[in-house]
Amino acid sequence: MKNILIYSPVPIFPAIQGNRKRIFNMIQSLKNEYNLFLIIYGNVQQIENEKDFYNDAFKATFIYPQGINHSFLFNRNINIDDAYENGLGEYVSEICNTHNIDIYLHNYIFQSKVLEFVPNSILKIIDTHDKFKDKYKLAKWYSYSEEEESKGVSRADVILAIQDEEKKYFESITSKKVITVGHLSESNFLNKEYNDLKNIGIISSGHIRDFLAVEKFVQQFIKNDIKGVTLNIAGMVCEKLEPLYNHPNINYLWLVDDLKDFYKSIELCIIPPEDGTGLKIKSVEALSYGVPIISTKHGFVGIETNDYFHQAKNVDELMNYIIEIQKNSILNALQIKSKTVFNKYQKLQKNNLKIAFNHVKNKGLTEILEQLKQNGYNSFLNSDELTRKIMKLMLNRGEEAIDIGVNYGQFLFYLSNLVGVDGKVLGFEPIKELFELNLAKIEEQKMTNILLHNFALSNSEGISEFTVFNERKGYSGLKENVILDSSFDVNNKSKIEVIVKKLDIFLSDFKKLKLIKIDVEGAELLVLKGAEELLLKFRPIIIFEFGMRTAKSFNYDQQDIYNFFIERNYSIYIMSGLKLNSFEDFLLADSFIYNFIAIHNEQKDSIDILNQYSNSYLEQINIDKNLSCIQSLKSNKIFVYNNNKQYSKLINILEKLSSISFFKSPIKKFQAYKSLMRIYQELK
C-alpha cells in the first residue's frame, strides 16, 4: 500500500466541529487503502488526551508545537506566508524521506509553504476546506486576497474543493487540477416511521456565522409561536443562545453523546444559514441519518437537490415550511428524499476522491526528457503517426479545425474524416501547385467540409516573397531557411510571390473551433500573433512545429514563443502528453523535439484526455531499464525449468528488441515491450 502523510492544523478527535469532521471522515475513507501518517500543528496536550485514537488510525503521529499566536492576523487580508512557522517545512520533508511517503495531503492553505519542502517525487494534494478570499469581511479568521490565495493553492499538484462553486473559483485562479470532494460519510439511516410533527432540531457549532443563523431562526420561531412544536438545539451554539432566549418550547441539549439519539428524537431537521462560504457539513451529516430536512438554499450549496423543501430563500420561508408540514403528512416522503440525495452525493464524492489520490504527476520531467533524448525517441515523438493520434483523441464529429501549411494534405484529409460532414476544416497552402493538387482531391472525393485557401498566414497582410524548395516543398516558407538535409538538392529552389493574410479575418467563419495545426517553417509565432482574437474566443488546442534553426530567420527565439503561450494561459506539452512545467523544460525538449501541443489551462476536458494518454505512455518509456532487469532472468535455471514455454517467448522478444530494425522502429519496440511485460507479469 502507498504511504500518505496528512498535515492538519487542528486536532482531529473528538470530531466536534465541521473542519474536524471533514478531516476525520477523510481519514476513515483512506485508511483501508493506504498506510496513514499524521502530523499535527498545534497543542501537544490535545493529542495526548486522545492518543488511543491516533495510535489506532495512524502508522505514526508527529506533533509540531505551534509557536506563533495567529489571532492578530484575523482582521485583514494577509500574505500567504504570514502564518508560516519556520522549521515546519524541513520537519515535514524529513518525515517524507524517512517514511517513504508517496502522497502528501495538506489541510488548509495557511501553512502551504510546507509544500515547497515536500520532495517533487511525491504527489502533493491540498484540501482547501473553504475559500478564504476576503474572509475577514464575514468572520474573524484567516483571510487572503485572490492573488495570495492563488499562490497558496498553486503549490499543490491537486486541489480539493469542498463544493462545485468553489471548484470554479479555484480553477479561475490556478492552472492546477481542481477536484470537488465534499463531505465524506457512510449512511446511518434510521428507517423511522414518522407521524405527527412535534419535535424539530438544529445542531450547530459556536462559530459566529453559525450562531447568527441559528439565532435568527430562534427569533422567528418565538415570534411565530407554532403550537405543538418543540425546538431542540444541540452543539456549542447553546453556550451563546441559552442565556439570551429562554422559552418553554426550546430545549438546549448542548453536546450530545450520540448523534443517532439526537436525530431519533426529532421529526424534522432544520438547516438555517442564509450566507457564508464552504459546504455545510451539518447538512451532509443530517442527510446521512436519512431524517426529514428543510433547509435554506444556502444550506444545501454543494449538494445536488431540486426539492422544494431544500430551497428556502430565508428563515421566514422555513417557518412556512414547518406550518405546511404540520398540516400535511409528508415527513416520510422527506425521509425518502434525504436518503436519495445522500446516496447520490456520496457516490460522486467517493469517485472524485479516488480520482484525486490516483492522479499521476510528471515525476522527474527533466530526467524523463533526458532519457527520451538518449534512447533516440525523437523520431517517434515527432512522427506524423503520433500527431494523428493526438488529433483523434482531441477532435469530435461536428467540431472545427484549421490546417496551416497543408503541403500534400497528409493532415488535411485526416482532420476532415475526424470532424465528419457536420464539421469543418479550413486549410491554408500558399504554393499554387500543392493548392491545386489538394483542391482536385477535395473535388474528386466530394469533401464538402473542407475549405482550402491559396495564401500564407502571418501577423500582417499584403504580398510577400516565398521560397520554394522544389524537391522538398515541405521546407518552403516566407524566409529562406538554412537546410541541413543532404538528401536533396537545396539549390533547386525558386522564389514566388504569395498573398499573406491574418487568421483573425476568418473569426466569423467558426462556431466550434477545437484545434489548429501549424507547420510553417519558422513563421509559427507570426501566425499565432495574427490569430489573437480567434485564440481569445475559442481557446483552441494548437499543434505546432518549432525549431530555433527556422525561428531565428524570423527574429524570435524559444523564450518568445514560450512567453506567448504562458501569457495567454496556455501550457505546452510534448507529443507524448508530458507537460513542460518551465522554460528550462521547453529548452531541453526543443533540443531534440520539434512537434508540440499547447492547451489552454481552462480546457480541463482536453487536459484530462492528454493526461490519461500521457500516463499510459509513461509506463513505457523506461524500456531499457526494465529490459536489463528481465534479461537477468536468463541466468536463473529454476526459472527456465519451470517456465520453459514463456521463457522461449521472452528470449524471442528480447532478441527482437536488440535487433537494429526494432531499434529504428520505436512503434515496433513498444509493441514488443508490451508483450514482454505481459509475459513478465505472468511469470511473477
Instruction: State how far the Cα of 242 lies from the Cα of 232, in Å rounded to an integer.
Output: 12
Same domain flag for 212 and 251:
yes
For residue 649, what pLDDT band results from cuts at 50, 70 and 90?
Answer: low
pLDDT score of 363: 46
Whichever domain contains 271, its CATH number is: 3.40.50.2000
| Mean pLDDT score, 425-432 | 96
Helix (H, G, I), strand (E, B) or coil at 484: coil
- Region of poorest pLDDT, from 58-72, 239-253, 501-515: 58-72
Q: Is the pLDDT of residue 323 over 80?
A: yes
Q: Which residues contact 53 (CB under 8 A, 6 or more apart)?
A: 12, 13
Q: Please identify, among 180, 208, 240, the residue that sits at the C-terminal boundary of a domain.
A: 180
Q: What is the mean pLDDT of the chain?
A: 85
Q: Please identify, among 618, 637, 669, the residue that sits at the C-terminal boundary of a domain.
A: 618
Same domain flag for 436 and 504:
yes
Report yes or no on 121 lying in a domain: yes
Looking at the structure of the chain, the number of domains it has is: 4
Q: Are 620 and 669 in contact (CB under 8 A)?
A: no
Report yes or no on 551 lying in a domain: yes
Same domain flag for 456 and 582:
yes
Report yes or no on 187 lying in a domain: no
Instruction: State how far the Cα of 112 lies from the Cα of 107, in Å rounded to an integer.
Output: 9
Report yes or no on 353 lying in a domain: no
Same domain flag for 94 and 205:
no
- Amino acid in the structure at residue 312: A
Same domain flag for 161 and 209:
no
Q: Is the pLDDT of residue 464 over 80?
A: yes
Same domain flag for 628 and 599:
no
Pick from 549, 554, 492, 496: which is nearest to 529 by CA? 554
pLDDT score of 232: 97
Q: Is the pLDDT of residue 623 over 50?
A: no
Same domain flag for 337 and 375:
no
Report yes or no on 457 lying in a domain: yes
Instruction: State how far the Cα of 664 lies from the Cα of 625, in Å rounded to an integer.
Output: 18
Same domain flag for 586 and 492:
yes
Q: How far is CA 640 from the centre of its chain?
A: 46
Q: Is the pLDDT of residue 373 over 70?
A: no
pLDDT score of 645: 54
For residue 380, what pLDDT band results from cuts at 50, 70 and 90?
Answer: low
Tally of helices (H runs) and strands (E runs) in the chain:
28, 23
Q: Is the pLDDT of residue 487 over 50?
A: yes
Helix (H, G, I), strand (E, B) or coil at 43: coil
Report yes or no on 355 lying in a domain: no
Indicate the Cα dihedral angle 363, 364, 366, 370, nearest 10°. -100
pLDDT score of 486: 74
- Region of poorest pLDDT, from 4-13, 77-86, 134-143, 507-516: 134-143
Instruction: State how far the Cα of 284 lies from the Cα of 456, in Å rounded to an integer.
Output: 59
For residue 643, what pLDDT band results from cuts at 50, 70 and 90?
Answer: very low
Same domain flag for 134 and 164:
yes
Q: Please identify, among 128, 152, 180, the residue that sits at the C-terminal boundary of a domain.
A: 180
Q: Are 475 and 485 in contact (CB under 8 A)?
A: yes
pLDDT score of 377: 57
pLDDT score of 421: 94
Report yes or no on 354 lying in a domain: no
Same domain flag for 226 and 149:
no
- Region of poorest pLDDT, from 131-140, 224-233, 528-537: 131-140
Q: Are 341 and 304 in contact (CB under 8 A)?
A: yes
Whichever domain contains 431, its CATH number is: 3.40.50.150
What domain range is 296 assigned to? 199-344
| Mean pLDDT score, 675-681 | 54
Q: Is the pLDDT of residue 626 over 50?
A: no
Distance between the two ends of the chain, CA-based, in angstroms? 18
- Region of poorest pLDDT, from 4-13, 452-461, 638-647: 638-647
| Mean pLDDT score, 365-372 | 57
For residue 295, what pLDDT band results from cuts at 50, 70 and 90?
Answer: very high
For residue 206, what pLDDT band results from cuts at 50, 70 and 90?
Answer: confident
Backbone angles phi, psi at 408, to 5 degrees: -90, 10
Backbone angles phi, psi at 233, to 5 degrees: -115, 125
Same domain flag for 405 and 459:
yes
**What pairs with residue 464 in β-bridges?**
498
DSSP state of 144: B
pLDDT score of 444: 92
Same domain flag for 627 and 610:
no
C-alpha cell at 624: 531499457
Which helix H or strand E contains 466, and what residues bound it?
A: strand 462-469
Q: Select the more confidently predicted residue: 417 or 655.
A: 417
Query: pLDDT tens digits, residue range 48-106?
Result: 666 777 778 899 988 888 887 777 677 788 899 988 989 999 999 999 989 999 999 99
Q: Select the more confidently predicted residue: 639 or 475.
A: 475
Query: pLDDT tens digits, residue range 140-198?
Result: 778 899 999 999 999 999 999 998 889 999 999 988 889 999 989 899 999 889 988 99
Q: What percent of the chain has pLDDT over 70?
A: 84
Report yes or no on 59 lying in a domain: yes
Highest mean pLDDT among 319-328, 536-545, 627-636: 536-545
pLDDT score of 662: 43
pLDDT score of 648: 58
Residue linked to cell 476568418: 506
